[in-house]
Amino acid sequence: MAAQNIPLNKYRNIGIIAHIDAGKTTTTEGILYRTGLSHKIGAVHEGETTTDWMEQERERGITITSAAVTCFWKDHKINIIDTPGHIDFTVEVERSLRVLDGAVVVFDGKMGVEAQTETVWRQANKYGVPRICFINKINQTGGDFYKSLESLHQRLSRRALPIHLPIGHEKEINGVIDLVNMKSYTYNDFTDHELIEGEIPADMLEKSKNARTLLVEAAVEADDALFEKYLDGGEASITETELKQAIRKSVLTGEFYIVTGGDGRGVIVEKVLDLVTEYLPSPIDIGEVWGTQPKTGDEISRKADVNEPLASLAFKIATDPFVGRLIFVRVYSGKLTAGSYILNASTGDKERIGRIVRMHADKREDVSEVVAGDIAAVVGLKNTTTGTTLTDPTNPIILESIEFPEPPVSIAIEPKTKADQEKMSLALGRLAEEDPTFRVHTDQETGQTIISGMGELHLEIIVDRMKREFKVEATVGQPQVAYRETIKKEVEIQGKYVKQSGGRGQYGDVWLRVAPNETGKGFEFFDEIKGGVVPQEYRKPVREGAEETLKGGVIAGYPVVDVKVTLYDGSYHDVDSNEMAFKMAGSMATKEGVKKASPVLLEPIMKVEVLTPEEFMGDVIGDLNGRRGRIESMDDRMGAKMVTAMVPLASMFGYTTDLRSMTQGRAASTMELAQYEEVPPNVAADVIEKRAA
C-alpha cells in the first residue's frame, strides 16, 4: 500500500516498551509476520529477529538500540519502535517515547510487573503517552493473566481494565473474548493465520458480563451525554460504536488503560493490531506541538498538517555501515523533502537533506519525502545531534529537547597499538554522537582516555562495538564510580588576581558568595553588582572562571555540583583589568570558597531489586547489607521474594555474577541510578587517598 495515499488520521506511531525479557522483540516479530513484512517469526534466542539486528543483540538475546519499522494493517500505517528493556539502555526508551504518540506495554505473564516495567511506565507518564497493556506468555507454564493484572493494579495503575479475557489457562489457552462486541475469537494453534469468531463459552459468560460492565462504566464516565444515557437506559442502551468512541477518548486522555493478553508470536497479535488502530492516537489526535521562536523566545505552535511550515525533531543518531550517519527524525508539521535545505535550530546553520530512507530495522527503502506525522531516517546531515530541531529556515521553531541523565560508571581505555590510537578516538567520537548517555573525556592529570556510561553492560557493549564495527583493539581498566563533590555551608570570599611584569599588568578583584544549591539544580550564577564596581564585560569571565573550577573539583578532582555562586562586589583598574584577569579572580575565589564551605564527596546510590527463591533470601539480604545497602522492602512476587534495596554503586560491580553463584543461578536483579548521597567519612578518606595515588 502506498504510504502517500494514507490519510494522517490513519497513521500510528507506537513504541513497544517493557522490562527485559518480557517479549517486546518477539511481539514486534509477531506484528511484522502478521502484517506481511517478514515470512517467518524470528526467535530471539536463536538470533533471528528483524529488529535485533546488531551482532551484540543477537548473541545476548537482548535489545540494545531502538529499531524503527514501518508496517501496514487494515488501511493504517504503523511506525513501530522496539525499545530496549535493560536499564543501561534506558535513554533509548526515553528518546523514543519523546517522539511517539502511543505505546504497547508488554508484561511477562509469568512475572507480572517487574522493576524496569515501572521505569518505562514512569517515562511514559512523563511524556503523557497513551498506552495499551499486553500480558504476554500467559499460555506458558506459570503464565497467569489475572495475577499479572492484579500486579499491574498494585504497582502501576488501578485504572487498567481488560478489553479482552483469555479463553483457557496456561497451555490450554486458545483465544480471547472481546468485551466490546461480546464475541469469542479462537484458534486451534497459535500459529494459525486467522481467528475464528464465535459465541462466548457458557462457563465464561458470567465472568465476561461482569468485566464488560466495569469497562462500560469506566468508559462512559468520560462523556457526560453518554453517562446520562447510561443512567437512563443501562448498559444495553450504549451501542458498540458509542462504547468504542468512549474507550478511545479515555485511552487518549490517559483516564484508563486497556488490557489484553496472549502469545506475542501468535495469531492473537492481530487483536493487538486492531487495538492499536482503534484506540491509540493518530498524529491528529495528539494535536499541535509547542516550541519557541528562536529570535524572540515567544511560545509558538505547529499543527500536524502538511501545509504548515516544517517542524521536526532528530531523536536518534545511528552509524550505518552502508550509508554512514543516519538521523532518525519525527516530522510534526510540514514535509521533509530530499535535496531541500533545512535550518538546524540548535546551531543556526542551514543543512541540506541528502537522502531520506524508510527504515525496516537495518534494511532501507529510499523515499522522496516524509510528511507531518511520519518517522523516517535522513542521510547527509553533519552537525545534527539527538534532540535537535530541524525546521523551516523562513519560519523557524525550537521544539523541547530531550534531557539525559549523567552516566555514573567510568572506565579507562587505552589503544593496544599506535595504529589503534587514531581509530579509537574516531570510533569513540562516533559512538558518543549516537548515544547521549555515553561520554568520553581525557583525564587532565593522567592523560588517560576515560569513557562513562549507565552501567557495566553499557560500557561492555560500547567496547565490543568499537572492536567489531571500527576494528579497534583496546585495553580496558576496572570500572570506576563517577563521584561528585558538593558543599554544605555558605561562605563569602575574595578572589584577587594582581600581576605586574613591567608595562601593562593584570588586575581582577571579585567578592563571591558560594552557597549550596538545591539537589539537582546544578551550578547557578547570580550577578548582584550595584553600580559599576565590576564592569559588565568582566562579569561573564568571572562566571566562566567559577564554572571551570567547579568542573575540576576541589577535594578529589570530581565535579562539584549543586552550587550557587553570587558575584556581589569587587574592584577594577582602568588600565590593567581585562577579561583574563577577572576569569582568574573568579576561579581563585571559587576554589578557596569551596574549600571553606565544608566540601563533601557524593556517590551514586542504586535502587537494586532482587527476585529470589525464598530459600536464598537470607543470603541475598546479608550480602546487600555487607555492600553498605539499605533494605527498603520485601514483597511476595509470583511465588518468589522481591527484595528492594538502596546500595552504593561502588560496591555493586560484578554483582550479577556473585548473585548467580549465591543462588545457584536462580535469582535475578535489576539496578538503576536513584540519587547521589554523601559518602561516609571513612569511605571518603579511602576514595580521596586512592585518587591522590
Task: Write down the pLDDT at residue 83.
Answer: 61
Q: How far apart are CA 295 and CA 290, in angstroms?
A: 16
Indicate whether 40 pLDDT > 50.
no
Query: What's the average model confidence in pLDDT over 450-474?
Result: 83
Task: Write down the pLDDT at residue 44.
Answer: 38
Superfamily for domain range 300-399? Translation factors (2.40.30.10)
For the chain, give me the number of helices (H) and strands (E)? 17, 38
Mean pLDDT across the chain:
84
DSSP states of 307-375? TSPPEEEEEEEEEETTTEEEEEEEEEESEEETT-EEEETTTTEEEE--EEEEEETTEEEEESEEETT-E
Task: Write down the pLDDT at residue 445.
Answer: 63
The residue written with cell numbers 576554589 in the block is 591
Which of 15-24, 259-268, 329-338, 657-666 has the weakest average pLDDT? 15-24
Q: Do 602 and 679 meet the contact criterion of CB atoms below 8 Å apart?
A: yes
Q: How far apart are CA 678 and CA 665, in angstroms?
A: 34
Q: Do 296 and 366 meet the contact criterion of CB atoms below 8 Å apart?
A: no
Here the cell at position 252 is 487518549
CB atoms inside a 10 Å sphere around CB 43: 14
Percent of the chain whose predicted confidence (pLDDT) is above 90: 34
CATH number of 409-481: 3.30.70.870
Indicate whether 299 pLDDT > 60.
yes
Task: Write down the pLDDT at residue 91.
Answer: 60
Q: Does domain 3-174+253-285 have CATH number 3.40.50.300?
A: yes
Q: How far apart are CA 547 and CA 560, in angstroms?
A: 9
CB atoms inside a 10 Å sphere around CB 45: 9
Name the more confident of 585 and 370.
585
Indicate whether 626 pLDDT > 50.
yes
Phi-psi label, residue 647: left if phi above 0, alpha if psi -120 to 50, beta otherwise? beta
Indicate whether 63 pLDDT > 50.
no
Phi and psi, residue 314, nearest 5°: -80, 120
Q: For residue 49, what pLDDT band results from cuts at 50, 70 and 90? A: very low
Indicate whether 3 pLDDT > 60.
no
Indicate whether 257 pLDDT > 80.
yes
Q: How far apart are CA 594 and CA 602, in angstroms?
A: 15
Q: Do 88 and 454 meet the contact criterion of CB atoms below 8 Å apart?
A: yes
Phi and psi, residue 562, nearest 5°: 55, 60
Task: Write down the pLDDT at residue 222.
Answer: 80
Indicate whether 341 pLDDT > 60.
yes
pLDDT tens for each residue of 110-143 = 888 876 677 778 878 888 899 999 998 888 888 8
The third-level CATH classification (topology) of the domain covering 601-692 is Alpha-Beta Plaits (3.30.70)
Task: Write down the pLDDT at residue 18.
Answer: 77
Residues 6+ apart with CB under 8 A from 685: none
Q: How far apart are CA 228 and CA 322, in angstroms?
A: 60
Which DSSP helix (H) or strand (E) runs through 292? strand 289-292
Task: Write down the pLDDT at residue 110.
Answer: 86
pLDDT tens for each residue of 464-488 = 888 887 888 888 888 888 899 999 9
Task: Write down the pLDDT at residue 41.
Answer: 40
pLDDT tens for each residue of 143-152 = 899 999 998 9
Q: Do 533 and 571 meet the contact criterion of CB atoms below 8 Å apart?
A: yes
Here the cell at position 196 is 475464528
Task: Write down the pLDDT at residue 58.
Answer: 38
Q: For residue 363, what pLDDT band results from cuts at 50, 70 and 90? A: low
Domains 409-481 and 601-692 equal at CATH topology level: yes
Q: How far apart are CA 437 and CA 446, in angstroms?
A: 23
Please provide the size of the chain in residues. 693
Here the cell at position 528 is 548582584
Residue 454, classed as helix, strand or coil, is coil
Indicate whether 350 pLDDT > 60.
yes
Indicate whether 163 pLDDT > 90.
yes
Domain ranges of the chain: 3-174+253-285, 300-399, 409-481, 485-597, 601-692
Checking DSSP bridges between strand 439-442 and strand 363-367, what pairing results, if any? unpaired
**CATH number belonging to the domain at 485-597, selected among 3.20.20.70, 3.40.50.300, 3.10.580.10, 3.30.230.10:** 3.30.230.10
Here the cell at position 586 is 573568579
Indicate whether 95 pLDDT > 80.
no
DSSP state of 282: P
Task: Write down the pLDDT at residue 57.
Answer: 35
Task: Output the CA–CA distances (angstroms, integers) from residue 212 to 157, 209, 278, 370, 492, in the order listed.
Answer: 19, 5, 18, 41, 67
Q: For residue 251, what pLDDT band results from cuts at 50, 70 and 90? A: very high
Phi and psi, residue 287, nearest 5°: 80, -155
Q: How far apart are CA 435 and CA 66, in angstroms?
A: 11
